Structure 1
Amino acid sequence: MILLGVDPHKSTHTATAVDPVSNQQTGSLRIEATLTEYRRLLTWARRWPQRTWVVENANGLGRHLAQWLVARGESVADVPPSATSRIRRLTRGGGRKNDRIDAAAAATAYVHGDGREVEAEGHTTALALLDERRVNLAQARVRTVNQLHAVLRDLLPGGAPPQLSADQAAALLRTVRPAGDVEQVRKHLARDLVTEIRALDKRLAENAAHMEELVGSSGSTLTNTPGVGPVLAARLVGRVGRASRFATAAAFANYTGAAPIEIASADKARHRLSRSGDRQLNSVLHTIAIVQIRMPNSPGHSYYQRKLSEGKTPREAKRCLKRRLADHVWRVMIADERRSKHQPSQAT
């Protein structure tokens, strides 16, 4: 078995072959970051039939190479830059550093247990990409609607209603009879903006449909939770990835910022809202909580009312519900993950 440590950079990658038993380097190759050079690297590595690639920062600069190798059946592991830095300081001293040494340090870090297997991209990555695209489309729509409102304020007395659809804006524009070049230009710009909004609405609808399809094919049961539709389920799956990377529900709640922070001094103790964690996931939990509070027959509504009866303020009761929802989401995703391992044919 040979370990092929890789030190990736934006334009070049350096690979160093290391014998894990003797920790001796048996070869090194530096390539340009191109597909032709990737193939040359793989050809060079085939001299060692039993090999494992150890890529430093396989979720960063080394992501493309790592996924390219995984797609071709190679065994690939990821080690964090902090681990290779520690190995380099211990074995070479703080003064020596080059790409070949860094690549070897990555392989040595893997021997010491700092690496983790790189998995092939699947539905999780696809949903993360769709979620990012949806955020960008939604932001573009907000900007376009704001521009339309600004134009309509100068075309209509009092402007347009705050909640304005593309069809409503088009209907308003049909009532405008421009007088002069300035008003004609404003009406023309408003029509262009309405066209853009309609195009964005169509893309958002297509995005949601694609999310629903992928969430269904992934085997996720998150949509069985009241308040969780395909879009929110896609964001949860895309941003969380493997739920099993969190050892406990408490660890997951802390990651999402749903776990309150204790503030204690002497005999006084209180809890405040956490401002850390993944704010996008925190926003999803907040949305689910709000929806369930408004659904009389939902578990969240009953829990929220119970907390109010215990003397909690509405804000405190909502925080408690978000914490409870974080536990629920983690358990559902863990169950989905275990089920998919027993039924790999349902995974995408």
Structure 2
Amino acid sequence: MLAAGTGARLGDLEVPATPDGYERLLGFVSSFGLIALIGVEGTNSYGAGLARFLAAAGVAIREVIRPKRSQRRRGKSDPIDAYAAASQALAEPEALPVAKTADGSVEQIRVLMAVRRSAMKARVAAHRQITSLLVTAPDTVRTRFAHLDGDHLIDILAATRPGPAADTVPAATGQALRRLARRHQALTEEITEIDTELRTLVTRVAPAMLATPGFGVITTATLLITAGDNPDRLHSEASLAALCGAAPIPASSGKTTRHRLNRGGDRQANWALHQVALVRLSTDPRTKAYAARLTAAGKSKKDVLRCLKRAIARQAWHLLVHPSPAPRIDDLRTLRHERGLTLAQAAEHLGTVAARISELERGTRLNLALATAYREWLNTQQTLSLAA
């Protein structure tokens, strides 16, 4: 630890990464006087336990960026790293990011998303193995399943009863295909369960974002993880855009003035913004008109997507830091029944399909604009009914 006034080294202490060790460390630091702040490296990895303990104790924490290799020419050890972190926290306390708290619903979402991501990769790997085995399988096996694909192929393979793998090559291939198909089914069931839990958590944490067109459960969950349980640490919409790698970087030279793609930041969050942009490009009239204007101005497809992601990052910041109350939807079905209206009538008036109205009423797919227009139309029907 360093003195706040002079930067002199006051002392260092090595403790185990346990609650008792954290308590000893806090007592050691407090023995030198009032704590201004503590810099912790890796608050979302190896330093997560210490960061949570210090936050619960009311200590100000800053995320210390890992030093570059060029700064480690003097060697590396725990005391050297600790003094380097303290020096950085003392030199630029306002420039260092506020650490995530990681103690609320967003942390629950993060761990579920980590499991879901690995399950998705494993399912894709299983499907690729099935495809590869069918290509090289004996003729009797390959021709039997040649006309099948997708989930139907998985179901048929999982229900087969091949002979013992030790008997023949076709039997061994059949056993391998059945095991891979059952693994695929188990992973699908696991992913479905996780998606149900994620929908519940995301609806609780960010109902307004989930109700905004383009934002789905997975994209919203990804952006929530990037912002953390304390999104107020992001002081401006530009900070979220930079964190997501959606802030354009100047790449001008001479008479050419342009910006290029930012390949830094959280790539998962950048993927989420990209998915929202693609959804809106295919479904939202305002986004289509905006993209058409940019294209007419000479922007390339990549430039248009970059501009869209920057605009979506701006909207996402407001939805995360200053969320508006989600529209009430639990009474929409009751209001429709009271007026004797059908889903088909509502869908025809609102320019959508009956399935979307049903999903809105059941809360399985929120849509802020559709919910507002639907309620206004139902109120109009009430007025007409009373007038009659």
Q: TM-score, normalised by structure 2?
A: 0.64
- 3-state SS, counterpart of residue 197 of structure 1: helix
- 3-state SS, counterpart of residue 252 of structure 2: strand
Distance 2:148 2:249 in 1: 38
Distance verdict in 2 for CA 1:76–1:254, change over 3 Å:
closer
Distance verdict in 2 for CA 1:106–1:284, change over 3 Å:
closer
Please say if 1:234 is aligned against 2:221: yes
Task: Pick one of 196, 210, 226 that aligns with 2:197.
Answer: 210
Distance verdict in 2 for CA 1:33–1:302, change over 3 Å:
same
Residue 207 of structure 1: CA displacement?
1.5
- Structure 1 contact 141–197 (Cα < 8 Å) conserved: yes
Distance 1:74 1:230 in 2: 33
Distance verdict in 2 for CA 1:269–1:156, change over 3 Å:
same
Distance verdict in 2 for CA 1:27–1:283, change over 3 Å:
closer
Taking the TM superposition and a 5 Å limit, the aligned residue runs for 1:159-308 are: 164-165=150-151, 167-171=152-156, 181-241=168-228, 243-295=231-283, 297-308=284-295
- 3-state SS, counterpart of residue 56 of structure 1: strand
Residue 106 of structure 1: CA displacement?
5.3
Task: Pick one of 133, 140, 144 that aligns with 2:115.
Answer: 133
Distance 2:25 2:239 in 1: 40
Match of 2:53 in 1: 68
Please say if 1:57 is aligned against 2:41: yes
Distance 1:280 1:253 in 2: 13
Distance verdict in 2 for CA 1:314–1:301, change over 3 Å:
same
Match of 1:143 in 2: 125
Greater Cα offset, 167-176 or 228-237: 167-176
Q: TM-score, normalised by structure 1?
A: 0.71
Distance 1:186 1:139 in 2: 23
Residue 200 of structure 1: CA displacement?
0.7
- Measured against aligned partners, the alpha-carbon deviations of 1:294-324 in whole angstroms (never above 9, x if no partner) come to 21x4532332244345554544433332232
Distance verdict in 2 for CA 1:34–1:177, change over 3 Å:
closer
- Structure 2 contact 248–262 (Cα < 8 Å) conserved: yes
- 3-state SS, counterpart of residue 268 of structure 1: coil
- 3-state SS, counterpart of residue 240 of structure 2: helix
Residue 249 of structure 1: CA displacement?
3.2
Task: Tell me how many residue pairs correspond in the alignment.
Answer: 314
Residue 256 of structure 1: CA displacement?
2.6
- Measured against aligned partners, the alpha-carbon deviations of 1:88-135 in whole angstroms (never above 9, x if no partner) come to 99xxxx989976676567556655552666553223333222222221
The residue identity in structure 2 corresponding to 1:156 is R
- Structure 2 contact 251–259 (Cα < 8 Å) conserved: yes
- 3-state SS, counterpart of residue 193 of structure 1: helix
Residue 143 of structure 1: CA displacement?
0.5
Structure 1 portions without partners, runs of 5+:
6-17, 340-348
Distance verdict in 2 for CA 1:39–1:189, change over 3 Å:
same
- Measured against aligned partners, the alpha-carbon deviations of 1:172-222 in whole angstroms (never above 9, x if no partner) come to 676898896111111111111111111111111121122212212224521
Distance 2:256 2:177 in 1: 58
Distance 1:271 1:324 in 2: 15
Taking the TM superposition and a 5 Å limit, the aligned residue runs for 1:82-121 are: 103=82, 110=89, 114=93, 118=99, 120-121=101-102
Distance verdict in 2 for CA 1:118–1:173, change over 3 Å:
closer
Distance 1:264 1:51 in 2: 45
Please say if 1:327 is aligned against 2:314: yes
- Structure 1 contact 308–314 (Cα < 8 Å) conserved: yes
Q: Which has the higher strand share?
A: 1
The residue identity in structure 2 corresponding to 1:127 is I
Identity of aligned residues (%): 26
- Structure 1 contact 124–237 (Cα < 8 Å) conserved: yes
Structure 2 portions without partners, runs of 5+:
326-388
- Measured against aligned partners, the alpha-carbon deviations of 1:233-252 in whole angstroms (never above 9, x if no partner) come to 00011023355544543443
